A and B are shown apart, each in its own frame.
Chain A
Amino acid sequence: MRKIIVSEFVTLDGVMEAPETWQFPYYSDDMGEVIKVQNLASDAMLLGRVTYEVFAAYWPTQINNEFGIADKLNSMPKFVVSSTLQKPLVRG
């Protein structure tokens, strides 16, 4: 059976919200490699509404395979779980 893998940035005290405000200083090439390998090994992405909106505003504009994962991330099916969104902001 296919596995669902939870992959998150998380602080030492367990906060995962708004990583764009604290995670960037800790980004490194070897971490990027882990994320890349993980993405290439998956064929579907599960997103909540907030993450979807952040991703939808960024990734579709990355046409040069940014971080080595943009093409894969844009082409793989996304499943967005939301009780409020009426339709996706972009096709994907």
Chain B
Amino acid sequence: MRKVILSMMVSLDGFIEGPNRELDWTIVDKEIDTYADDLLSTVDAILLGRRTYQLFVGFWPTATTEEEIIADKMNEIPKIVFSRTLDKAPWGKWNNAHLVQENIAEELSNMKKQPGKNMVIFGGANLAQTFMQHDLIDEYRLLVQPIVLGSGTPLFKSGSDRIHLNLLKTQKFNSGVVGVYYQPAKK
């Protein structure tokens, strides 16, 4: 079955954005570009929450591969946007973002049963937490940044159930970022 991969930049204290939603602390360099490019080569759907969609759609459709090596992939790979409030989800000339407004866990569960490559979630704590609660995430790829933010939006919701994980791989980046890859342990 195709896997749902969660790929996130996270601070050492577990936040995915600062208290004012700032992302200025994340390290994006050539190595991270290569990481993202490799990951995107293995997927045929990018899963986005509303806020991440709005952030991405303001950037990627006008980006070119000369500036951003993953631009073509970001634009050409179909996007699934999960939002109760949006009524359409354009994506420049590609127009390949599909909106899912209801029953998002069920919809993703159905998508996983269809043939295809893996699917990736970039960003979006609410979406990630919803999928975690429904046990729909098959792999966590966390890029731990060398910073303690102190406050912000946590990746893991306080008070949620334990998730037992098996370590698949670690990856050390020259910037000081450490990639830790896990899959949920079989119950």
Contact = CB atoms under 8 A, between A and B. Distances in A.
A12 B182 CA distance: 10
The size bracket of the interface on A is: under 10
B165 A13 contact: no
Interface string B172-184: 0000000010100
Nearest to B144: A12
Interface in A1-54: 12-14, 22
B165 A12 contact: yes
A12 B14 CA distance: 8
A14 B13 contact: yes
B120 to A, nearest CB: 19
Interface of A: 12-14, 22
Given A12-B165, A12-B180, 9 more contacts: A12-B14, A12-B142, A12-B156, A12-B182, A13-B14, A13-B154, A13-B155, A14-B14, A22-B162
13 contacts: A12-B14, A12-B142, A12-B156, A12-B165, A12-B180, A12-B182, A13-B14, A13-B154, A13-B155, A13-B156, A14-B13, A14-B14, A22-B162
